[in-house]
Amino acid sequence: MENKCENLSLYIIGELSVDERVQFEQHLITCNHCRIEVNSLKETWQMLSYDVEEMDVPESLKAEVMDFIFQENSTESLVQAKETENKGSSLTQAKTAENLATLEVQEGKLKKRSYLDGLMAFLGKQFSPLSTGITAVLVLGVIGLFWSNHQLKENIVVLEYKASSQTQIVRTFDLKGLNLAASASGSAYLLEEGRDTVLVIDLSKLPSTKDEEVYQVWLLKNGNRQSAGTLKPDPNGNGIMTSRLPKDLSFDDIGITLEPTPNNTQPQGQKVLGTS
Amino acid sequence: MKSKTDEELIALINQKHRPALEELYDRYVKLVYSFSFKLTKGDREKTKEIVQQVFLRLWTTKRTYNPLQGKFANWILTITRNIAIDIIRKEQKQPGMVQLELNEWWQMEDRETEDVPQQVSRNLLKQQIQEAKQHLSEPQQRLINLLYWEGYSLSEIAKLEQKPLGTIKSRLHQTLKILRNYFSKETGGVPHGK
């Protein structure tokens, strides 16, 4: 707080940067002391300008000042010239018309130029280098905001996807051992992860496999079989397999066979586990 | 034109009414000229340049003047001082600290209309300022001179005086307070901090 009160004098004499001034004006809202001081000290500062000897102004100055200002606007002085010319009755009409035509052409050119000049002058007057800077910063800020907004939206999409991709178990199956794997058992889980369907097979007490032998998982639908993958058990007889399934695949039962070789399209070996 | 207020004249100038500018010139040129003459230490060419720039500024400004913002004379003097200091600093090839349009307007904000210059004539004001200045110490007088009339910034003055900026800041605060107190005594009590 103390620090900001120190800026009072800089504020009065207009030596604060724009940022500092805005900050100080906010400080003024909360600081009684500064608020009480500021107006009367500003007035004092302005009164210093009356510490001046009155001078006589040169008579010729007015014409010089007005010429200086109105030469800035050549179109205007041309129009005035045209008006004067119109009043000049001593000129012949032809001569006047000729002059007017020339004047109009010049005027046209000047107008074109003066639109540009006018625009530049307008911009120059409307926007000090400082406000141009501020505008640039604001424009960059807006672009930045759009960009971060865009990024944020993408993040949200990803998050939504993640949220919707929470894994859900939609179906479980008990698998019972048959035949030479009568002691084996296991479970199968049908999971939905977002838009994907995943089958997880978790088996235990599987007889170990020899050579190229694998356990192959089949999905059964109306007597048709489709392979869902193969697995080899670990030395303790446990085996896990996950398989990503096509979206529209449906099946009623799961059967597992012991195949002599991997990657068979139809079962050749004996059925060793199944849902029923 | 003569019967119009300053406010009405500025409104006409905004509509590019030349006689209104000429009327404002007639009213204020003496003030602007005398003030610029002091700022340029009597350089007539520079004084002319400043006067031209001041009235060009009035001619091209898009702002409307509102008497509630303060006295017109104060506004035109603020413009004059900013333009003059800008010119002086350019000559000294020092980076300008003066932000023209911005300062001119914010300095006029929140001003009460019934201020001292309306109650007394300029000459009386001048007399009072000179009397008040007698109550300033030598460093305080030097500060006002360098700051107000020579256009040095506070940090430049701190360097010149070989003092920390904080010291110069509080010296300025003290100086303004002393001046305020003497102004108000002379004028029968300007309310402090209204």
| CA nearest neighbour of A134 among A8, A22, A10 | A22
pLDDT given at position B173: 92
Using an 8 Å CB-CB cutoff, list chain A residues near B183.
Answer: 44, 47
Q: Which residues contact A57 (CB under 8 A, 6 or more apart)?
A: B29, B30, B33
Positive or negative, the CA dihedral B51, B52, B55, B56 is: negative
Of A37, A55, A68, the CB nearest to B193: A37
Look-up of token digits 């009043």 = A87
Contact by Cβ (8 Å): A218, A240: no
Rounded Cα distance, A136 and A134, in Å: 5
Identity at B79, one-letter amino acid code: I
Where residue B177 falls among pLDDT bands split at 50, 70, 90?
very high
Q: Is B96 a residue whose pLDDT tops 60?
A: no
CA dist., res. A70 & res. B17, Å (int)? 12
CB of B109 within 8 Å of a chain A CB? The answer is no
| Helix H or strand E segment including A28 | helix A18-30
Residue A77: closest CA among chain B residues belongs to which residue?
A: B18
CA count, 13 A, side-chain hemisphere, B156: 14
Helix axes B122-133, B165-186, angle to 10 degrees: 130
What was the pLDDT predicted at A146?
Answer: 82
Task: Specify the pLDDT at position A118.
Answer: 63
Residue A256 neighbours by CB distance under 10 Å? 31
Provide the pLDDT confidence category of residue B3 given band limits of 50, 70 and 90.
Answer: confident
Q: What is the pLDDT of residue A114?
A: 55
Q: Which of A39, A124, A178, A56 is nearest to B70 (CA)?
A: A39
Instruction: Render pLDDT for B29-79 as a digit per residue (tens, 0 to 9).
Output: 999 999 999 999 899 999 999 999 999 999 988 777 777 767 888 889 989
Neighbours of A210 (CB within 10 A): 8
Q: φ and ψ at A235, to 5 degrees?
A: -60, -25
How far is residue A206's CA from residue A185's CA, in Å, rounded to a whole number? 8
B132 φψ region: left (φ > 0), alpha (ψ -120 to 50), beta (else): alpha
Would you state the pLDDT for residue B187? 56
CA–CA gap between residue A265 and residue A82 (Å, rounded)? 101
Residue in this structure with the two tokens 């402090």, named with its chain if needed: B192
Taking Cα atoms as reference points, which of A254, A189, A245, A186 lies closest to residue A219? A254
Nearest to A47 among B123, B129, B154 (CB): B129
Whole-number Cα distances in Å, B105 to A26, A108, A271, B7, B77: 18, 37, 94, 15, 12
Query: Per-residue pLDDT for chain A (276 aa), expressed as one digit of tens each?
Result: 456 788 888 898 988 888 888 999 899 989 988 988 888 898 889 889 888 888 889 999 999 999 999 885 554 444 444 444 444 444 434 444 444 444 444 544 455 555 656 666 666 666 677 777 887 888 888 888 888 888 888 777 766 655 555 677 888 888 989 888 888 889 898 887 777 788 888 888 888 888 888 999 998 888 888 888 888 888 888 888 888 887 777 888 899 999 988 878 888 888 899 987
For residue A91, the model assigns a pLDDT of: 40
Q: What is the mean pLDDT of chain B?
A: 80
- Please tell me the predicted confidence (pLDDT) of residue A63: 93
**Chain B nearest C-alpha distance from A80 (Å):** 12
Residue among A6, A43, A65 minimizing CB distance to B116: A43
pLDDT of residue A220: 87
Are the Cβ atoms of B56 and A6 closer than 8 angstroms? no
Nearest to A69 by CA among B49, B39, B182, B129: B49
Token pair in block for residue B172: 């300025």
Tokens of A209: 């496999």
**How many whole angstroms separate alpha carbon B82 and alpha carbon A83?**
38
Task: Tally A–B CB contacts below 8 A.
Answer: 149
Instruction: Select from A158, A228, A235, A163 the least CA-distant residue to A200.
Output: A228
Residue B12, amino acid? L
CB spacing of A52 vs B38 below 8 angstroms: yes
Cα four-point dihedral sign B94, B99, B101, B107: negative
Q: Cβ of A50 and B125 within 8 Å?
A: yes
* Structure tokens given for B137: 């110490």
Cα–Cα dist B52/A61, whole Å: 9
A239-248 burial, b at 16+ Cβ within 10 Å, e below that, comes to: bebebebeee
Contact residues for B119 (Cβ-Cβ < 8 A; gap 6+): B187
Burial of B191 from C-beta contacts in 10 A (0-12 / 13-18 / 19+)? exposed
Beta-carbon separation of A49 and B55 below 8 A: no
Q: Which residue of B has its CA nearest to A68?
A: B52
For residue A119, what pLDDT is reported? Answer: 61
Cα–Cα distance list, A127 to A16, A72, B104 (Å): 19, 19, 15
Chain centre to alpha carbon of residue B189:
22
3-class DSSP state for residue A196?
A: strand
* CB contact B179 to A (< 8 Å): yes
pLDDT of residue A123: 63
